[in-house]
Structure 1
Amino acid sequence: MDPEETRPLLLTSSSGGGSSEPSARDGTRDRSPRNSTTKPGSKSPRKWHAGKLVVATVAVVALWLYSRSMATMRLMELEEGRTGGRRGRSSDGGAEWRRWSEVPLDWLDPSDPRRATIAIIRYNATDLTSYAGPVFINPGGPGGSGVWFVRHLAPYYQSIIGKNHDIVSFDPRGVGFTTPQVSCWNASASSPSPSPYLWDLLEPPVLDAHPGVIYDAYAYATAFSQQCFSQISDVGAYVNTAPVARDMLHMVEKLAPAGEAKPKLKYWGFSYGTFLGVTFASMFPERVGRMVNDGNVDARDYVSGQSTHFLTDTDRVMDAFYVFCHRAGPDRCDFYAESPAAIEARLELLLEDIKKHPVIVPASPPRFPRPEIVSYSGLRRLISSALYQPLLIFPSLASTLLALESGDGRPFVNLTSQGAEEPSRCYDRLESTIPTEPENPTPGDPEGAGSADASKAILCADLDPVQGGVDDFVTYVDKLVRLSAAAGASMASLVMGCVGWQVKAKWRFSGPFEANTSHPILFIANTADNVTPLRSALANAAGFPGSVVMIQDSYGHTTLSTPSRCTASTIRSYFQDGTLPAPDTTCAPDLVPFEPWSVDSAGFGLATTSDPGMEDEENLELDLAMVELMMAPVPGMGRYVRG
């Protein structure tokens, strides 16, 4: 497929020159297993054309800006009933950690003595003259830790939403500090837990790596489902989305000013968070104050257990790699060839070669104490993961592919061991001042972006039970691979997780996903999103009269993957005064993959839009916020795997 025939390109200026012939880097390679002689950990001078060129600028400007404008965060233990409205706050802002009062584990039977305890964090508004209440953030997943994201990123969300709003989030049931905990590997004094890391070693390759892999993968998924049932059958029935939506309503009521009747939710959800949002809006339509659903999961398709819509635009994002690499030219894209189609062919050749001849990367202590192997499965998973954040990862992906062609696996090991390589994030500076745990913490891991076991428990309890046997699943996987050549096989391994799942949800909401909400919803989608396509936003919006779908003309997962002042300003206006954009509104991105950019005193060097009502300092703060949110981890992105 020639992507230039499928849609207009975002970039209107042509890139620099470049040979019309394939680079000599495409040459014939040794067909025996290859050794990388360079040491992992050293860095290519060509990497991070966008990131490393500006990280110093971003850090300096961020230090300057936030030293003047960002409130000191502090740990506060809140009393029950003293969190409402503006009580107990000061104009210097700050973060509050609290362990919520207990809620029924089973909302359908409050007489059940078992309780869940929800961990919540709030970053206070700094503008109290026009205080507008809390906005809840859900980062996605399922299994993403809202506490982690607010702890690290709250000032950046607030820069977009407005400083007259609190930023609030929580760890959903099974995740982080919240109890009940979900772990399929619980240990007891008499029975030590087997290591989940050893179990991970048994994980099969991606499903198109070799004939018969799908049967191993089916058995692996079934065995893990049985293991989970043996450990979480008592609490696993209460961690799915419907009770979490009810928990969220409880939090809205607790945070409301004293005496306010039926307070309404303000909410910004990403990815799976849009399913939580749509579920809440369907269950409690009269309690929707503002709702932004960004990167939409098709609710009806999701609960079916045979989801296919999520791969609709995956290959369009892959096509964007070929197109933007070609437009950037050989100076900016290390995997350049004479046309987008030639780049695609070059990648397919590399994949087929690595399938037969994996790249060996020798050990390089102390950082890499053992040798590594770059396999076909590992490369497929890396490519699939890169589609979530094209602007951030495509340049390093191109450098990694070039190195693999010559038998050098060092860049692959560097990239996969660090997520998206370096660049240091400005929010790392804040860690010493942001509360790390409540005074009486519950068990859990607040430092991770979520829990893999909780993710599976939530997902599988939300879905219709998986029907049929392994042959039926073979048919389903074939359909996914046909839908996406780039990521169908690797994504199929993830959706296989619910095979054999036996824990049934006590309270499951499976629709209808429709309602007349008290305020219309703003649905947002990228032109091409690798796992939450535009069609899903349109499908969800159809059930909510008066709602609007806005498009950001960019690639990747959710609008956070690509900064756009137009999008950020639209979101701010919606939260500030309820203004919806006109139907069919499309926002341009401020940055595109492979093009160099910088952040200076005026904001993005390539910014094409600005809010005329904002001062330059405000635009700069907005730009910095979008950069930091773009660099943040993506819950549910899937891990880079070197196997």
Structure 2
Amino acid sequence: MKAPLSVLFLFTSLGCKAHGWNDRSMVYKFDDIKPSANLTWTPCFDGFTCSRLEVPLDYSNKSVGTTSIAFLKLAGKNATAESPSIIVNPGGPGGSGIDLLLSNQALASLAFGEQYNIVSYDPRGVNNSGPSLDCFSGNAEARTAFNRLHRTGVTNISSASFEEQYYSSSIYGEWCNDAVKKESPHGFYVTTPAVARDLLTFIEAEAELAGQAPSDAKLWLYGISYGTVVGATFASMFPDRIGRMILDGIVDAEQYYDNAWSVNVAQMDEAMGTFSSFCHAAGPEKCSFWGPTPANIIARMDKVILQLQNHPVPISNAQSRGLPALVTYSDLKALFVTSLYVPAASFPVMADILHQLERGNASALVGMFDGQDATFDSGHVIQCADSYRRNKLTSIKEFKSYAEYTVSKSKYIGDVYPIFVDSILCRSFRPQLPDSMVVQGEHLSRPVSLFLFASVDIGLDRPTSFPILITSNTIDPITPLNSARTTSSRFPGSILLLQEAVGLTQDYFSPDYSIQSSTREGRTVTFNTFRHTFKAYSHHPISHARSKPFPSWAVLPETCQSGEEVSR
């Protein structure tokens, strides 16, 4: 899922030991590193090591050529030559793991422990990894024109904006198709199954570098949001190659490969509803939009929404001689949807903006909707290539049904969500991809063909070599809890860990996390998440959030109130 990745913690406190360093000067650009089919680590970015691993564009036909995948490693202070590397898979699609790890080094010690190496990477087509594709071929004017035509505001099926968004969406795919034809012949070779195969290549290359048998290499992965699709795909394809795997903030892989995003709105209004409870409990000193009851806060928020829907606010900027602007209902809805990713950080800001709107000041919302750029090429290209043979969102009838569904399920987010995710852009993509690179068929568990072998059942009846830990917040507005339950049911032996919190992914995940079972027995379960002895005695444990919006006040119950709900 598209997400503000910089807010996610995800890492371990590590030092500078590296295995297989090259005797070179420190580098600060991946372009300065020569790609190699053998894994080599070059000192980079003051405390890290980098590698550009050369991989086949098409694993089923290596004559097509190669591309390079950028990897970044933070070596553990207490790591040894035998220490596994935990790969952090960013969200997206289109998220850069390199940027994520570089910007979160200071938070490393909060995650997995100093006995491990932490590795992240840019998946195919993203940032420092190939193959690259610029759909508008550097034509900024054309890109701006498309955004102006397509991003008409919320997807209101009763107005012209609905048809404008549908028909203009074909323009994007046609530009991407043309760019591939003329400039980047393998620009669509960026699918998630190919990324999963790249990860297998990496762990085998890492094992070979350490003098171990590549065939025995196992993947240790922490996947976030879209990274859970990568993890689920890898586990389905290579169930016997799982060392440890945590999937956090679950995207339903079946829905993802179908380009069907309707399930994602399931808990959005539930999450928005917590804003009023949080704000009321915080009190007027901590929440500027405070009211005497949660119901009062909701009523006033609804009034602000209605006022802006009926009367956009002009911002002249005449006195400052700045650019004039018009704040619209779409700007407010964009604020809501982005705030739901990280309520703990965003709800106080949202409260301040609502307070200002109530007083007639809309300047804080200027450009909020326009700031959500639809044409983030790498993300859309990956998403559209992945879903090409299974896309269930192509006709105007399907688009209307989808928009009607999201509106019916979410009062606050439903009308902005279709243009926010913008999956309709995939309808005119025409990627010419080999069977080895796509998931086909009706179910992820039964593709027609996958990778080197035909008719592979990547199915749900084969347990993984080590149980997958699937984690979710009890209220997840972006990757809802039901997606976690569904994914857990697909992998025999997997563990579903719930945290009683609101937002995308779990904010803190220490190596020793003691949690209370939701079963009637009330047993305590301790997860040593990436240690060699992983023990789980309950299938559906639940923990409590450590951070909440408007700091220093508590609104969540101290004991689980939904134990029976999370027990199947």
Length-normalised TM-score, structure 1: 0.70
Q: For each residue in 1:113-139, what CA deviation from the matched residue of structure 2 results, as whole angstroms up to 9, or x when unmatched?
A: x22111111111111358522111111
**Contact between 2:223 and 2:246, CA under 8 Å: does it hold in 1?**
yes
Deviation at 1:527, TM superposition (A): 0.5
Structure 2 Cα separation of the partners of residues 569 and 167 of structure 1? 23
Question: Is 1:546 aligned to 2:499, yes or no?
Answer: no
Q: For each residue in 1:411-431, what CA deviation from the matched residue of structure 2 results, as whole angstroms up to 9, or x when unmatched?
A: 334988999xxxxxxxxxxxx
Structure 2 Cα separation of the partners of residues 418 and 469 of structure 1? 28
Question: Is 1:105 aligned to 2:95, yes or no?
Answer: no
Deviation at 1:155, TM superposition (A): 4.8
Q: 1:88 to 1:381 in 2, by over 3 A?
A: closer
**Contact between 2:85 and 2:220, CA under 8 Å: does it hold in 1?**
yes
Equivalent in the alignment of 1:454: 378
Equivalent in the alignment of 1:585: 541
Q: 1:370 to 1:530 in 2, by over 3 A?
A: same
Structure 1 Cα separation of the partners of residues 512 and 330 of structure 2? 36
What amino acid maps onto 1:487 in structure 2?
Answer: I
Q: 1:265 to 1:569 in 2, by over 3 A?
A: farther
Q: 1:566 to 1:173 in 2, by over 3 A?
A: closer
Q: For each residue in 1:321-358, what CA deviation from the matched residue of structure 2 results, as whole angstroms up to 9, or x when unmatched?
A: 12111222222222223332332222222112112221
Equivalent in the alignment of 1:324: 278
Structure 2 Cα separation of the partners of residues 594 and 347 of structure 1? 18
Question: Is 1:508 aligned to 2:438, yes or no?
Answer: yes
Larger RCO of the pair (alpha carbons < 8 Å, separation 6+): 1
Map 1:427-446 onto structure 2 (within 5 A): none
Question: Is 1:335 aligned to 2:283, yes or no?
Answer: no
**Contact between 1:145 and 1:176, CA under 8 Å: does it hold in 2?**
yes
Equivalent in the alignment of 1:241: 192
**Contact between 2:48 and 2:75, CA under 8 Å: does it hold in 1?**
yes
Map 1:208-287 onto structure 2 (within 5 A): 208=156, 211-233=159-181, 234-256=185-207, 257-262=210-215, 263-287=217-241
Structure 1 Cα separation of the partners of residues 494 and 125 of structure 2? 32
**Contact between 1:318 and 1:387, CA under 8 Å: does it hold in 2?**
yes
Q: For each residue in 1:145-202, what CA deviation from the matched residue of structure 2 results, as whole angstroms up to 9, or x when unmatched?
A: 1111122124524541111111111111111011110211114xxxx56342343233
**Contact between 2:42 and 2:50, CA under 8 Å: does it hold in 1?**
no
Structure 1 Cα separation of the partners of residues 303 and 477 of structure 2? 23
| 399, 402, 408: which one aligns with 1:476 | 402
Question: Is 1:133 aligned to 2:84, yes or no?
Answer: yes
Equivalent in the alignment of 2:137: 186
**Contact between 2:474 and 2:499, CA under 8 Å: does it hold in 1?**
yes
Q: For each residue in 1:225-273, what CA deviation from the matched residue of structure 2 results, as whole angstroms up to 9, or x when unmatched?
A: 2111111353243111011110111111112212334210100010000
Structure 1 Cα separation of the partners of residues 285 and 109 of structure 2? 37
Q: 1:193 to 1:335 in 2, by over 3 A?
A: closer
**Contact between 2:173 and 2:428, CA under 8 Å: does it hold in 1?**
yes
Moved more, 312-321 or 488-497: 488-497
Question: Is 1:488 aligned to 2:443, yes or no?
Answer: no
Q: 1:596 to 1:210 in 2, by over 3 A?
A: farther
Structure 2 Cα separation of the partners of residues 572 and 185 of structure 1? 47
Equivalent in the alignment of 1:403: 356
Moved more, 233-242 or 169-178: 233-242
Equivalent in the alignment of 1:392: 345
**Contact between 1:564 and 1:589, CA under 8 Å: does it hold in 2?**
no
State the SS of the aligned residue for 2:179: helix
Q: 1:374 to 1:523 in 2, by over 3 A?
A: same
**Contact between 2:49 and 2:74, CA under 8 Å: does it hold in 1?**
yes
State the SS of the aligned residue for 1:462: helix
Structure 2 Cα separation of the partners of residues 481 and 157 of structure 1? 40
Taking only aligned residues, the RMSD between alpha carbons, in angstroms, comes to 3.4
Q: 1:469 to 1:451 in 2, by over 3 A?
A: closer
**Contact between 1:567 and 1:587, CA under 8 Å: does it hold in 2?**
no
Equivalent in the alignment of 1:168: 119
What amino acid maps onto 1:577 in structure 2?
Answer: H
**Contact between 1:125 and 1:164, CA under 8 Å: does it hold in 2?**
yes
Deviation at 1:209, TM superposition (A): 8.5
Q: 1:269 to 1:408 in 2, by over 3 A?
A: same
What amino acid maps onto 2:467 in structure 1?
Answer: P
**Contact between 1:548 and 1:580, CA under 8 Å: does it hold in 2?**
no
Structure 2 Cα separation of the partners of residues 327 and 564 of structure 1? 26
State the SS of the aligned residue for 1:135: strand
State the SS of the aligned residue for 2:156: coil
| 405, 427, 452: which one aligns with 1:499 | 427
**Contact between 1:281 and 1:517, CA under 8 Å: does it hold in 2?**
yes
Aligned length: 494
Equivalent in the alignment of 2:529: 574
Q: 1:199 to 1:580 in 2, by over 3 A?
A: farther
Equivalent in the alignment of 1:595: 551
**Contact between 1:525 and 1:559, CA under 8 Å: does it hold in 2?**
yes
Question: Is 1:359 aligned to 2:313, yes or no?
Answer: yes
Equivalent in the alignment of 1:294: 248
In structure 2, runs of 5+ residues without a counterpart are 1-6, 8-12, 19-24, 28-32, 446-458, 516-525, 560-568
In structure 1, runs of 5+ residues without a counterpart are 1-50, 52-65, 420-447, 598-603, 610-643
Structure 2 Cα separation of the partners of residues 236 and 81 of structure 1? 21
Deviation at 1:98, TM superposition (A): 2.1
Q: For each residue in 1:487-515, what CA deviation from the matched residue of structure 2 results, as whole angstroms up to 9, or x when unmatched?
A: 12211112323232222543212520533
Structure 1 Cα separation of the partners of residues 510 and 50 of structure 2? 31
Question: Is 1:522 aligned to 2:469, yes or no?
Answer: yes
State the SS of the aligned residue for 1:472: helix
**Contact between 1:290 and 1:520, CA under 8 Å: does it hold in 2?**
yes
Q: 1:349 to 1:99 in 2, by over 3 A?
A: same
Equivalent in the alignment of 1:633: none
Deviation at 1:540, TM superposition (A): 0.8
**Contact between 1:70 and 1:155, CA under 8 Å: does it hold in 2?**
no
